């Protein structure tokens, strides 16, 4: 009964609440402090011992969502952050188990979505809250979308931003997005290295996508940014969470 209650609460949160390597916020602005309480910074320890970073977002007290290409040897999830140089009250939680999509294609970045089960529960507060997901039958193209993250803010800077940044993006219909369950945006403004795994948040403040990859067409032109299309993964999300909780 306890497991079922946890699952029901998560489903309610998901449903009822209103390189080709992605990473930095270009052309953006500083986010109002703690106005994106679902944002997570993933500190990743790689197999060679190096530390790298990805974005992510909180779905429930137990789960964070990110991109499958953000896989690592181990993780520390940082919640409640805004300015990493300031002494903020943050939560740091290790990851107990990872669930990359079983059909993730690392060459084409298809099914680039992953769930992380936290080793201990996140404590909800004014600065740490989950974000809702759209329904699986959402068929139209979302509007008024934005992405946020701590990635690089310009091409000459090799370091992450210490402050959470955000930029608005307009989704487009593109042939490169017809396979692999993706949304796309185009232009200089968008994500890059460091922002991978962060949410694509649209007009009703729900997470419609996961920042995935960026490519420049062979014919030239502007970059196209791709996001894993969350409505197409709702069944996978619910079943993955249910199976993980039943094993507790």
Is residue 191 within 8 A of residue 211, CB to CB? The reply is yes
Query: In angstroms, rounded to a whole number, what is the distance separating the alpha carbons of residues 180 and 60?
Result: 26
Query: In angstroms, rounded to a whole number, what is the distance separating the alpha carbons of residues 48 and 46?
Result: 5
At residue 94, the 3 state secondary structure works out as strand
What is 127-170 written as a DSSP string?
Answer: S----B---TT--SPP-SEEEEESS-SSTT--SPPSB-EEEEE-
Catalytic residue among 60, 148, 185, 196: 196
Question: Is 29 part of the annotated catalytic residue set?
Answer: no
Question: Is 225 part of the annotated catalytic residue set?
Answer: no
- Give 190's DSSP letter: B
Query: In angstroms, rounded to a whole number, what is the distance separating the alpha carbons of residues 155 and 46?
Result: 24
Task: Kindly give the pairing relationship between strand 39-45 and strand 74-79.
Answer: antiparallel
Catalytic residue among 82, 101, 112, 185: 112
Question: Is 69 part of the annotated catalytic residue set?
Answer: yes
What is the helix (H) or strand (E) element at residue 16, kind and residue range? helix 2-16
Q: Which of 44, 59, 46, 69 is nearest to 191 (CA)?
A: 69
Establish how many alpha carbons lie within 13 A of residue 55's alpha carbon, considering only the half-sphere containing its beta carbon: 35
Catalytic residue among 60, 62, 69, 225: 69
Q: What are the catalytic residues?
A: 69, 112, 196
């Amino acid at each position: 009964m306890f497991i079922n209650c946890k699952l029901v609460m998560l489903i309610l949160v998901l449903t009822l609440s209103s390189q080709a390597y992605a990473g930095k916020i270009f052309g953006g602005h500083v986010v109002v402090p703690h106005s994106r309480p679902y944002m997570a910074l993933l500190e990743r320890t790689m197999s060679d011992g190096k530390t790298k970073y990805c974005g992510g977002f909180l779905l429930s007290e137990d789960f964070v969502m990110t991109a499958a290409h953000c896989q690592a040897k181990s993780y520390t999830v940082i919640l409640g952050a805004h300015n990493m140089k300031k002494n903020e009250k943050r939560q740091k939680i290790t990851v107990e188990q990872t669930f990359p999509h079983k059909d993730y294609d690392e060459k084409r970045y298809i099914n680039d979505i992953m769930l992380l089960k936290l080793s201990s529960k996140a404590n909800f507060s004014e600065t740490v809250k989950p974000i809702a997901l759209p329904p699986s039958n959402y068929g139209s193209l979302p509007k008024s979308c934005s992405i946020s993250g701590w990635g690089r803010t310009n091409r000459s800077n090799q370091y992450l931003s210490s402050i959470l940044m955000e930029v608005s993006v307009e989704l487009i219909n593109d042939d490169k997005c017809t396979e692999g369950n993706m949304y796309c945006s185009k232009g200089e403004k968008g994500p890059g290295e460091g922002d991978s795994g962060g949410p694509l948040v649209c007009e009703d403040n729900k997470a419609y996508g996961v920042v995935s990859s960026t490519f420049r067409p062979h014919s030239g032109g502007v970059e196209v940014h791709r996001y894993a299309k969350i409505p197409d993964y709702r069944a996978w999300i619910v079943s993955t969470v249910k199976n993980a909780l039943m094993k507790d």
